Copies of this chain bind each other. A is one copy, B any other.
Amino acid sequence: MAPSGTASRAAVDPRVVRTRKDVLRAATDLLVDTGWESVTHQQVARVAGYSKATLYTHWPARTDLLVDAFASLGEVPHHTPTGNLRRDLVDELLTFRTAMVEHRLDRALAVLVDLTASVPELVEVRNRLATEGERVVRRLLEPSLRGVRLEAATCMLCGAVVHAALFHGRTPDEDFIEAAVDLALRAVDPAQDTPDKR
């Protein structure tokens, strides 16, 4: 994902790249550990080990800091498709599930959707994060589905993982993800094997 915010033009300087990375890492850590209230220039500077002046140079307003911190969440690993549709969908959702745990993406997403209601600048970041998060699943389903059915199937698969993580408070296990993928694939191609109907 291209860097956004005020620092994007300077991002070729390796020192600036490192500063951005350190500061945004500190900001997202604060976000998930203690909530967005603690993402202030002062607290982020303290945690990242930079001066407040440096932070103000790169992110003049607190909103800039929040927007860039959430934008940096978009840099989450995806599975690289291998050509086996079922395995690719399962592995992509497992990668997504693991990112929820390791990057504490579940907590960050909860903060983001909450904050978006009061910080309009975050709407675009949230939309981009959703598009980027769903990208591989949508691409894998594209040869089989179109239009609103592609949209619904993508939301059903990604939504099942997000919903279980946010509302059941547990990251879904492999059995759950395989069951979801098998239901989706059976819908896409009803001619395929349906073991428990036989």
Chain B binder among A60-68, A71-79, A95-103, A178-186: A178-186
With A113-B167, A166-B113, A190-B194 known as contacts, the answer to whether A118 contacts B35 (CB < 8 A) is yes
Q: Is the CB of A183 within 8 A of B110?
A: no
So how many copies of this chain end up in the complex? Answer: 2
A118-136 vs B, Cβ < 8 Å mask (1 yes, 0 no): 1000010011011001000
Q: Is the CB of A127 within 8 A of B169?
A: yes
**Could you say which of B129, B130, B160, B186 contacts A186, with CB atoms under 8 Å apart?**
B186
A4-43 vs B, Cβ < 8 Å mask (1 yes, 0 no): 0000000000000000000000000000001101000000
* Residues of chain A in range 153-198 having any CB-CB distance to chain B below 8 Å: 153, 155-164, 166-169, 172, 175-176, 179-180, 182-184, 186-188, 190-192, 194, 196-197
What residue of chain B has the Cβ atom nearest to residue A191's Cβ? B190
Q: Is the CB of A160 within 8 A of B169?
A: no
Interface of A is mostly: helix
Cβ of A116 within 8 Å of any chain B Cβ, yes or no, is: yes
Q: How far is the CA of A113 from the CA of B167 in the complex (A)?
A: 7
- Could you tell me the distance in whole angstroms from the C-beta of A170 to the nearest C-beta in chain B? 10
Which 7 pairs show the lowest CB-CB distances between chains A and B? A159-B163, A159-B159, A190-B190, A152-B179, A110-B113, A156-B156, A183-B187
Q: Is the CB of B156 within 8 A of A162?
A: no
Cβ of A111 within 8 Å of any chain B Cβ, yes or no, is: yes
